[in-house]
Amino acid sequence: MNGILLIDKPQGWTSFDVIGKLRGVLHMKRLGHAGTLDPMATGVLPVFVGYATKACGILPDDTKAYTAGFQLGKVSDTQDDTGEILETHDFAGITEEMLRDALSGMTGEVDQIPPMYSAVKVDGRKLYELARQGKTVERTARRVRIDALELTQFDPAAGEGTLSVTCGSGTYVRTILHDLGQILGCGAVMTSLRRTVSNGFSIDRCITLETAQQLADEGRIGDALIPIGEVFSSLPTVRLSEKQTRLYRNGVKLELSYLKGQITDADRYAVYGKPDGFLGTALADKQEGILRIERNLCEPNQ
């Protein structure tokens, strides 16, 4: 089996827990995922199956969308309500208008300091390992992309609300809420998180782990697999003849002049062959005049 299985990750599970469960369900080891979710989070987790795992690091669309709950007046060591509360503050007087004003200045390309409870590595060690030992180390800010922040619900009396977030890969939503709390001067922690979009896939296409198990028991799990080529549908395409396909699959660099009418100003392409269909991705080297294989994503014996 090769393709993508879209899982609605349950709360309390790590992304690695999901992979472990699916290895038992699918009876195969070659699985990977795109976009780690914290245990408290739920929602879209694209799981790459078989040869499709080679696509994990080259996905063209890194956009993620979330619905996040928050509570004003608190600061925690994890930046969510599962951690130790370090500070409490009065949030009386914080209005919806103040929230919207603060959020309006937090979008775009921004520098974000990763939380201590994260998988980011410092000197070869994951931050959450150090945090569990009670250690705090200096972290370097990372440039992340926050496309949109929308306040969708707010109860000023309770200091509780919901935020819609659209962002790029590597962005910590709980850090966005922590930073929002610092801007407002009262602190804030994340109380819930659901990912609704990841890498072009929406939550309405996901299945639960229970459904995956049922489909596997019925011998129909292949029906839920999404072809890997769909991930690269946003790229311009190059379609090869049978002869070109044989050469390409044997590692021969094709001359761009033989692909007339297909090469544009773009540098990256989704490659389709005959009769194999989607083969993988390639880079057009305009200076050398050749098409270079970026990643083969089909079975090697096809």
Q: What is the pLDDT of residues 53-91, one digit of tens each?
A: 999 888 988 999 999 999 999 999 999 999 999 999 999
- In the set 8, 38, 80, 179, the catalytic residue is 38
Residue 298 DSSP one-character state: S
What mean pLDDT do residues 182-187 have?
97
Residues 6+ apart with CB under 8 A from 233: 200, 270
SS3 for 153-188, per residue? EEECCCCEEEEEEEECCCCCHHHHHHHHHHHHCCCE
Distance CA 30, CA 52 (A): 9
Q: Are residues 44 and 15 in contact, defined by beta-carbon separation less than 8 angstroms?
A: no
Q: What is the mean pLDDT of the chain?
A: 91
Q: Are residues 185 and 85 in contact, defined by beta-carbon separation less than 8 angstroms?
A: no
* Residue 302, pLDDT score: 46
**77 a catalytic residue:** no
Segment 222-235, tens digit of pLDDT? 999 999 999 999 99
Using pLDDT thresholds of 50, 70 and 90, give the confidence band for residue 129. confident
Catalogue all structural domains in the chain, each as residue range(s) with its CATH number: 3-61+200-230 (3.30.2350.10), 67-187 (3.30.2350.10), 235-296 (2.30.130.10)
